[in-house]
Amino acid sequence: MLGDLLSLLTYDVGIDLGTANIRIGVRGKGAVAIEPSVVAINKFNNEVLAVGNEAKKMLGRTPANVVAVRPLKDGVIVDFDITLAMVKYFLGIVHAQKDDFWIIPKPRVLVGVPSSITDVEKQAVIDAVLYAGAREAYVIEEPMAAAIGVGLPVNEPVGNMIVDIGGGTTDIAIISLGGIVVDKTINIAGDEMDELIVEYLKDKYAMLIGYSTAEKIKVKVAKAHPEIEDKAIQVHGRDMISGLPKAVEVSSKEVLDAISPALSKITDAIKEAIEEAPPELVSDIYTRGIVVAGGGSQIPGLNKLWEQELKVPIQIAKDPQFSVLKGTLIALGEVETLKRLKEAESQII
């Protein structure tokens, strides 16, 4: 009864501060907004002009004084003030949807942050969220949130391994007893694959394409293992010699060739993470396997590739782009988890 009354006065908001996309959700409701992690600013006075989809639309179509920034590129918060502006904007969206109440309640907010973030930055995220109107604010490291989101038993004394392939970074973590035991972040993920596809078409066909075309090619036809069935896509670009438009057909096999260097680097990083783990956890990983999450995990054949290369069972998460957000929403419902996050927070000086 009291719980029901309290739930009218408050609500729980989870935020995933991804390098490519920001996702925000409400506990009991799921995701409510997904927008690109892009902010348009006035280069001369750093004023924030637009956030998310609006900012992305301005990319390449703006006067010279407007620049679009991805404040979380490479998983580190490149520009903190801009990140905070983005968080405030997204909290505003959720808050505005709460007009079904005659009293607008203040939310409890849990933000998934890159694991490489410093304590000072963590505190700044918490302060920004409180400033934006939250009643309570917590941060959780993204690999932990992703592991909770895919349903791994993170609090048990077993080794849980999660690989999250995002836009700017791949996060690799081994979690046991509620803590991150091994954590590795590399700047090789979806964006790098797009760049490799651009280079490949330049070298092979003397054709110039943009990054968004490269991303489309990757999403439509990429594969991570030669035994996956081949597909093809017609691609339009500019001939680098004549300067005129030209079209070529690109196959999955070609995309595999193009993105192979990125796949190998991710494979090596996973191997290194396993090597750094205590032996008991390693034996858990060999029996329990690795869960792969993040938008980049949707390339067909990743499971085949890694089962072959790493000799461990590989499971691709369901709705992998939402694992972190799901984890934040689950954690908000767990008193013990929130208590642990609060304790970690109190140790930030």
Site of interaction with Mg ion (CB under 5 A): 18, 166
Which among 92, 37, 75, 90 is positioned nearest to 59, based on CA atoms? Answer: 37
Q: Which is nearer to ligand ADP, 281 or 299 (CB)?
A: 299
Q: Which is nearer to ligand ADP, 294 or 301 (CB)?
A: 294
Which residue of this chain has its Cβ atom nearest to ligand ADP in the complex?
A: 190
Q: What is the distance between the alpha carbons of residues 36 and 18, in angstroms, rounded to a whole number?
A: 9
CA angle, 329 as apex, 323 and 332 as ends, to 5°? 140
Q: Which is nearer to Mg ion, 154 or 201 (CB)?
A: 154
- Piece of the chain touching ligand ADP by CB under 6 A; list 88-96, 145-153, 163-171, 230-238: 163-171
| Binding characters for ligand ADP, 247-286, by CB under 6 A (x = yes) | ----------------------------------------
User: Where does residue 155 rank: exposed (0-12), middle (13-18), buried (19+ CB within 10 A)?
Assistant: middle
Q: Which is nearer to ligand ADP, 21 or 115 (CB)?
A: 21
Q: What is the distance between the alpha carbons of residues 318 and 296, in angstroms, rounded to a whole number?
A: 13
Instruction: Identify the residue among 149, 159, 295, 327 touching ligand ADP (CB under 6 A).
Output: 295
Helices (H), 189-251: 190-205, 211-221
Q: Which does 176 bind (CB under 5 to 8 A by kind): ligand ADP, Mg ion, none?
A: none
Q: Which does 299 bind (CB under 5 to 8 A by kind): ligand ADP, Mg ion, none?
A: ligand ADP
Q: Which does 284 bind (CB under 5 to 8 A by kind): ligand ADP, Mg ion, none?
A: none
Q: Which does 215 bind (CB under 5 to 8 A by kind): Mg ion, ligand ADP, none?
A: ligand ADP
Residue 268 phi, psi (nearest 5):
-60, -40
Closest distance of CB 322 from Mg ion, Å: 10
Q: Which does 170 bind (CB under 5 to 8 A by kind): ligand ADP, Mg ion, none?
A: none
74 touching ligand ADP, by CB under 6 A: no
Q: Are 174 and 181 in contact (CB under 8 A)?
A: yes
166 touching ligand ADP, by CB under 6 A: yes
Q: Which does 107 bind (CB under 5 to 8 A by kind): ligand ADP, Mg ion, none?
A: none
What dihedral angle (degrees, nearest 10) is formed by the CA atoms of 341, 127, 162, 53? 150
- CA 286, 292, 297, 298 torsion: positive or negative? positive
Q: Which string of b and e fits 289-323 if b means at least 16 CB within 10 Å?
A: bbbbbbbbbbbbbbbbbbeebbebebebbeebbbb
Binding footprint of ligand ADP on the chain (CB under 6 A): 18-21, 166-168, 190-191, 215, 218-219, 222, 294-296, 298-299, 321
